[in-house]
Amino acid sequence: MRFEDQRRLLVQELRQQGIRDEAVLAAFSKVPRELYVLPQYKDYAYRNRPLPIGQEQTISQPLMVAIMLEHLELKPEDLVLEIGTGSGYECALLAEIAGEVCSVERLEELSLTAQGVLKEAGYKNIYFRIGDGAQGWLKAYPPHKEFDKIIVSAGARQIPTRLQEQLKLGGILVVPVGTCAYQILTKVIRTENGYSVSEHGACAFVPLISK
């Protein structure tokens, strides 16, 4: 079956699993996941499962990515901070919906590979930083201080304080919080009185490593 047909079936599956945000579904319809997996896994690119991408990291299950993007409540004008560039797939989905994406990756080889794929795909609204994702967008270009939305593709022991501080008023942070084996998908909204926190089900991500 052609990749295009597999992509269409994946979007149908996401709808059946409860994803309703049309912008998120449109992004999944457009971004070719097969470009963001290792060559030996291309035949599995549209199965609803995580896949290895090297260096003990994974490309996340499409349904989990869709759930996280839906919780972000993305808008076309949003400035988004992504923690965990990984293969670049989630970054491409974000770039299809939001105005600008700043993506941080700890592992240089992963970041450089993703940058190459995303550049080849023609994205011009993505910026990259190699470093400690728990610290957010520091000493990087463009020199943004705050973001409308922040998404973390790694499990944190607790909600990262530095990321909360980089949320704009009304901004949303989505992050898995818990142990290495088990996390809860957590949504944080910055309010005039502090932060509103809600939990949205179990998940499992590689750990967020911070110095």
Instruction: From first to last of the 211 residues of the chain, give the pLDDT tens digit.
Output: 799 999 999 999 999 999 999 999 999 999 999 999 999 999 999 999 999 998 888 899 999 999 999 999 999 999 999 999 999 999 999 999 999 999 999 999 999 999 999 999 999 999 999 999 999 998 899 999 999 999 999 899 999 999 999 999 999 999 999 987 789 999 999 999 999 999 998 988 888 887 6
29 classed as catalytic? no
DSSP 45: T
Q: Distance between CA atoms of 130 and 108, rounded to whole angstroms?
A: 6
Looking at residue 55, its pLDDT comes to 83
Catalytic residue among 29, 60, 111, 196: 60
